[in-house]
Amino acid sequence: MNKTVAEAVVLVDELKAALAGVAGVDVAVCPAFVALTSVRSALAGSAIKLGAQNAYYEPKGAFTGEVSISMLTSLVDYVIIGHSERRQIFGETDQLVNKKVLAALASGLQPILCIGETLAENEAGQTEAVLERQVREALANVSAADITRLTIAYEPIWAIGTGRAATSEDAQNRCAFVRAQVRRKYGDLADQVRIQYGGSVTPANARELLTRPDIDGALVGGASLKAADFSAIVKAATA
């Protein structure tokens, strides 16, 4: 929940300029709902894609304050689903996340599914059990034909916005574990599923994270609010 509409447009204009000539990496921005239309116009002619931060699975109805996936299909390419703040602050369950994933895939959008453990779960040695459950339940009834259109973002909740990122080795191990869970259900298609790391990704640690074999990208939070920082992370992915 950052940036007014005008500020969001300024940010993407700066980002387009900073990334001019950069190739070989997919980039998307996910502004607040109110800025989507304006940012889409600002991105015209750019390779930068557009995503939404959330969506509801029902196509329409008496759900005041929600935005349906069907409302987004003409606007965006991606939709973030199950972000830890949605889970923790707004009480979204694994089952609700699954409904959103299925609705997004059915509409043609590309979901960015967020998973990750809390600090208490991490310290209790429950990380893998939590990730296994979140992957299994979020991907219930997702077909093999659809699985490669989905991105999974591993975000340890204790690292989001805290400045305390997981080490590149820990991030690699967790992303490899997530890929192994996908492989159990979908076989070699797991190699085509994009698995990202999120949680205090910065220009300083981006290259070390992004060169790991099972980390295919980054879901960037606070650093995406400054064009210079976000573009530096993007460029780290091309190195």
Would residue 137 show up in a list of annotated catalytic residues for this protein? no
Structural domain contains residue 43 = no
Question: How many domains does one find in the chain?
Answer: 1
Query: Domain containing 141: what range?
Result: 79-224
85 is catalytic: no
CATH number for the domain harbouring residue 129 = 3.20.20.70
Residue 45 belongs to some domain of the structure: no
Walk along the chain (239 residues) and give the pLDDT tens digit of each residue: 999 999 999 999 999 999 999 999 999 999 999 999 999 999 999 999 999 999 999 999 999 999 999 999 999 999 999 999 999 999 999 999 999 999 999 999 999 999 999 989 999 999 999 999 999 999 999 999 999 999 999 999 888 777 777 899 999 999 999 999 999 999 999 999 999 999 889 999 999 999 999 999 999 999 999 999 999 999 999 97
Write out 183-218 in H/E/C secondary structure.
HHHHHHHHHHCEEEEECCCCCCCHHHHHCCCCCCEE
Catalytic residue among 83, 85, 92, 121: 83
pTM summary value: 0.96
- Residue of 92, 121, 155, 169 with catalytic role: 155
User: Do the Cβ atoms of 57 and 66 come closer than 8 Å?
Assistant: no
